[in-house]
């Protein structure tokens, strides 16, 4: 055959040039094509269940009467039908968990650890299936579920398996709480499940968990994992359904604790619903976290940090850095860089490995985001969005930037829970702190600066449970996570998170009746009963009651001991203002506070005879018992003086290249309502640990025997205690306690009294999410160190702030 007759395999000149032009265009634009992840195995899983899922109760699948659809928000297609648990189903699940509790506890921590290890391994073995199913159900990008969510899920089970192994030695003074009701949100469905279930099981509790209505699929796959590892029946129960299912779980009488992650509004409803029930509660709620950028920051790194802070998971993150606070000198330069980066962001199907932003979880959330954006525009804030359009076939919303936002604007104060960044400027470091704290929330904060001294100066001053330095949205099972203020209370992760799932064994020894020394029957000598004027103590000064009334105080034998001021709401107001005005005490080092406490103990010791005689007069104690209470009071002051500079945090063993500091901080302004019994010792045992850690307090002393407290302010006057550190209001303790509970500027409240008022305190405190510690009508023996002294008091007097400091080149 002649060469000229052969057919050339080469492309035509036209075709070749066309390809070259496309390659050149792609090279010049660097445009990415789609890179879809296969959903085949996830679809096989769904089909294996006929795309219908029932309830997981007592280790088995139980049919429900009703079902609802779960949707893929990327394309609005129905993924499956999910069971809707009724109140009867909830009751069955709780009953199963209660039945399984005893055997699960008796199994011991070491055996429980083996199950948690097995669960962790199974999650790793099926990690891709979990990641794909999560992306389909939630709408978040597959690269986030694959590279962030699922590895963290496995990490939580491994980490808490270790704590189960160590519980009998490291936490031997604590025990399980019982049946835990857990309600989780839709933004991190499987990760939130692991945050809740892993520590609960490790500490010996059993669980009834309700996943979010929008995103239940990975929780149901997790139920299969529990079956596969042979987890004892009833230890984990998964009940799906709407808000009414969660309400039935919250209100169930046999649930011993509620762990909730979700909105602040629902958190308040839960807090009020369980008030006075004795149920323990931890709440991880909303946020409006500041992202603070100082003028020396690396702005290119800042921009990438912003992408992770507010467009990670479409901004549907409780700790999203949704408030950008930028130093005025660099604001325009930074805004230009942010806008340029926003133009390059890709929004699309969650299964595309090349997208940056996925779908909003549901149409109702999409509508909420848009309404708040429109409100931001209506209020005069400057809005900017990229030039490109979002896909039309799903719940998509473009990344949005508001600049020159007023701090009082709705979008600066309300949680949008979407891909919307609001920016404000500041001039000085102090202004940055004020803007950062200008919110009812306190969940997280990011600080960006090349000056580590500046970063570590700002971090403790921002009211937030987590602070990231030159980083954002970094999480690990070894570090606690949780908020201040209306972002809730309690911690998840780290050793501090374990306390949410156990209780001190010593509580079993508390009494149903007050414990008092025997009353002596002989005549008590009362001297100066009327002429010795007792006053209240506010801001370091003696104060008469605002209402001008006094109360006659009688001892158990009916003898008049004296008159005490009758405090009122206005006196509480004045005391709270004085406590907030006192900045010196919290700023002192632990060593300096310890010196003051030692001085208090010395001065009380010098006057112990006088204080002993007061107890004899007020309480009809025998002299031996009165002397013993004073001596115990002095000794307890010395104990907390010793703790003042030794109640340390730690550097958490997190897996990222960070030094993660767990820093104990004072709660802030605390109310303390003392019991009627042990009027001197109970006053000392509650007030002194609180101030030892830097809190300022408003104290309501024993109503029936207040003079030990009013005498004590003379000790404070001679012991270098800054004015406003301890404020003393006498009068009817339950009504005054309610005023403290309602006060928005009180950060924490301890109440030692009856069961009915314990309920009132918890219910009234829900409005500003103040931390409460109440006794539900159970009584301590204040002379017993195991019951009334130690770390439990210090833990309730402090918050843990976790500060993440990256290291390395």
Question: Tens digits of per-residue pLDDT, 280-330?
Answer: 999 999 999 999 999 999 999 999 999 999 999 999 999 999 999 999 999
Give residue 36's pLDDT. Answer: 83
Give residue 270's pLDDT. Answer: 96
**HSE-up of 670 (CA within 13 Å, CB side)?**
34
Catalytic residue (choose from 134, 144, 318, 395):
318
Give residue 327's pLDDT. Answer: 97
Helix axes 150-170, 189-202, angle to 10 degrees: 10
Residue 753 main-chain phi, psi, to 5 deg: -165, -140
Give residue 33's pLDDT. Answer: 76
* Inter-residue contact 298 to 450 (CB < 8 Å): yes
3-state secondary structure of 351: coil
Give residue 705's pLDDT. Answer: 95
3-state secondary structure of 212: coil
Give residue 635's pLDDT. Answer: 97
For the question of residue 587 being annotated catalytic, the response is no
Low-confidence ranges of the chain (pLDDT < 70): 1-23, 26-27, 29-32, 522-532, 809
Report the distance separating Cα 184 and Cα 481, nearest Å. Answer: 15
Which among 465, 469, 489 has a CA at the least distance from the CA of 479? 465
* Inter-residue contact 468 to 447 (CB < 8 Å): yes
Give residue 21's pLDDT. Answer: 62
β-pair partners for 805: 659
Which among 330, 310, 311, 328 has a CA at the least distance from the CA of 320? 310
Which among 513, 502, 601, 555 has a CA at the least distance from the CA of 781? 513
- What is the DSSP-derived secondary structure letter of residue 284? E
Catalytic residue (choose from 284, 500, 703, 799):
284
Give residue 526's pLDDT. Answer: 66
Residue 291 main-chain phi, psi, to 5 deg: -120, 100
Report the distance separating Cα 406 and Cα 570, nearest Å. Answer: 33
Question: How far is the CA of 198 from the CAs of 17, 20, 94, 156, 279, in angstroms?
Answer: 60, 55, 18, 7, 20
Tell me the helix, strand and coil percentages in the chain, rounded to 5. 45, 20, 35
For the question of residue 284 being annotated catalytic, the response is yes
**The whole model's pTM is what?**
0.92
* Inter-residue contact 318 to 295 (CB < 8 Å): no
Question: How far is the CA of 402 from the CAs of 310, 324, 383, 530, 676, in angstroms?
Answer: 13, 10, 4, 66, 55
Whose structure tokens read 């195995």? Answer: 41
Which among 95, 39, 73, 393 has a CA at the least distance from the CA of 239? 95
Helix axes 40-48, 127-138, angle to 10 degrees: 80
């Amino acid at each position: 055959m002649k060469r000229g007759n052969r057919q050339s395999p080469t492309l035509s000149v036209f075709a070749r040039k066309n390809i070259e032009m496309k390659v050149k265009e792609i090279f010049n634009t660097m445009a990415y094509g789609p890179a879809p992840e296969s959903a085949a195995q996830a679809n096989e899983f769904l089909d294996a269940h006929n795309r219908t899922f029932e309830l997981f109760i007592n280790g088995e699948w139980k049919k429900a009467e009703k079902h609802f659809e779960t949707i893929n928000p990327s394309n609005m297609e129905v993924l499956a039908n999910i069971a809707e648990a009724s109140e009867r189903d909830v009751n069955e699940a709780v009953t199963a968990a209660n039945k399984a509790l005893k055997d699960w506890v008796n199994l011991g921590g070491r055996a429980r650890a083996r199950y948690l290890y097995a669960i962790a391994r199974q999650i790793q073995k099926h990690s891709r299936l979990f990641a794909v199913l999560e992306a389909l159900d939630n709408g978040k990008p597959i690269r986030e579920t694959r590279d962030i969510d699922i590895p963290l899920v496995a990490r939580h089970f491994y980490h808490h398996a270790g704590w189960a192994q160590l519980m009998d030695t490291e936490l031997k003074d604590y025990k399980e709480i019982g049946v835990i009701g857990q309600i989780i949100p839709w933004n991190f469905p499987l990760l939130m499940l692991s945050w809740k279930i892993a520590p609960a099981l490790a500490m010996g509790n059993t669980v009834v968990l309700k996943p979010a209505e929008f995103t239940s699929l990975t929780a149901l796959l997790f139920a299969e994992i529990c079956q596969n590892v042979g987890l004892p029946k009833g230890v984990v129960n998964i009940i799906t359904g709407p808000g009414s299912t969660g309400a039935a779980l919250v209100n169930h009488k046999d649930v011993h604790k509620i762990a909730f992650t979700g909105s602040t509004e629902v958190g308040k409803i839960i807090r009020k619903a369980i008030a006075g029930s004795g149920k323990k509660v931890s709440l991880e709620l909303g946020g409006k976290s500041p992202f603070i950028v100082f003028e020396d920051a690396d702005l290119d790194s800042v921009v990438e940090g912003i992408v992770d802070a507010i467009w990670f998971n479409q901004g549907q993150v409780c700790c999203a850095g949704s408030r950008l606070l930028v130093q005025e000198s660099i604001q325009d330069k930074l805004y230009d860089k942010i806008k340029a980066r926003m133009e390059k962001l890709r929004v699309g199907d969650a299964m595309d490995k090349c997208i940056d932003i996925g779908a909003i979880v549901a149409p109702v959330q999409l509508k909420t985001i848009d309404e708040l954006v429109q409100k931001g525009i209506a209020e005069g804030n400057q809005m900017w969005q990229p030039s490109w359009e979002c896909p039309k076939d799903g719940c998509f919303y473009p990344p949005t930037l508001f600049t020159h936002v007023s701090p009082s604007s709705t979008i600066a104060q309300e949680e949008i829970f979407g891909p919307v960044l609001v920016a404000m400027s500041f001039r000085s470091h102090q202004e940055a702190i004020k803007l950062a704290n200008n919110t009812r929330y306190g969940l997280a904060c990011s600080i960006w600066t090349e000056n580590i001294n500046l970063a570590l100066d700002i971090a403790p001053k921002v009211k937030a449970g987590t602070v990231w330095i030159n980083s954002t949205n970094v999480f690990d099972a070894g570090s606690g996570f949780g908020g201040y203020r209306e972002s809730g209370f309690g911690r998840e992760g780290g050793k501090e998170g374990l306390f949410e799932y156990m209780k001190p064994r010593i509580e079993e020894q508390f009494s149903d009746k007050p414990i008092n020394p025997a009353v002596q029957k002989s005549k008590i000598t009362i001297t100066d009963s009327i002429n010795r004027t007792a006053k209240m103590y506010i801001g370091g000064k003696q104060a008469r009651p605002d209402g001008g009334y006094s109360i006659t105080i009688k001892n158990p034998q009916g003898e008049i001991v004296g008159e005490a001021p009758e405090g009122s709401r206005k006196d509480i107001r004045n005391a709270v203002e004085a406590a907030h005005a006192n900045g010196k005490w919290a700023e002192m080092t632990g060593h300096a506070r310890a010196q003051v406490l030692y001085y208090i103990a010395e001065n009380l010791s010098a006057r112990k005879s006088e204080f002993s005689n007061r107890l004899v007069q007020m309480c009809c104690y025998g002299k031996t018992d009165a002397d013993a209470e004073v001596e115990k009071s002095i000794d307890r002051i010395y104990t907390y003086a010793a703790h003042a500079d030794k109640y340390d945090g730690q550097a958490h063993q997190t897996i990222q290249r960070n030094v993660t500091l767990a820093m104990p901080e004072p709660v802030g302004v605390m109310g303390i309502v003392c019991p009627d019994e042990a009027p001197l010792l109970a006053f000392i045992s509650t007030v002194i640990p609180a101030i030892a850690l830097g809190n300022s307090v408003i104290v309501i002393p024993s109503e029936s025997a207040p003079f030990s407290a009013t005498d004590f302010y003379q000790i404070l006057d001679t012991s270098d205690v800054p004015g406003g550190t301890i404020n003393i209001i006498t009068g009817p303790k339950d009504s005054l306690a309610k005023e403290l509970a309602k006060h928005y500027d009180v950060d924490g409240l301890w109440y030692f009294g009856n069961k009915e008022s314990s309920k009132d305190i918890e219910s009234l405190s829900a409005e500003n999410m103040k931390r409460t510690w109440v006794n539900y009508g159970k009584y301590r023996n204040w002379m017993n160190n195991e019951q009334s002294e130690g770390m439990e008091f210090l833990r309730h007097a402090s918050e843990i702030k976790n500060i993440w400091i990256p290291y390395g080149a």
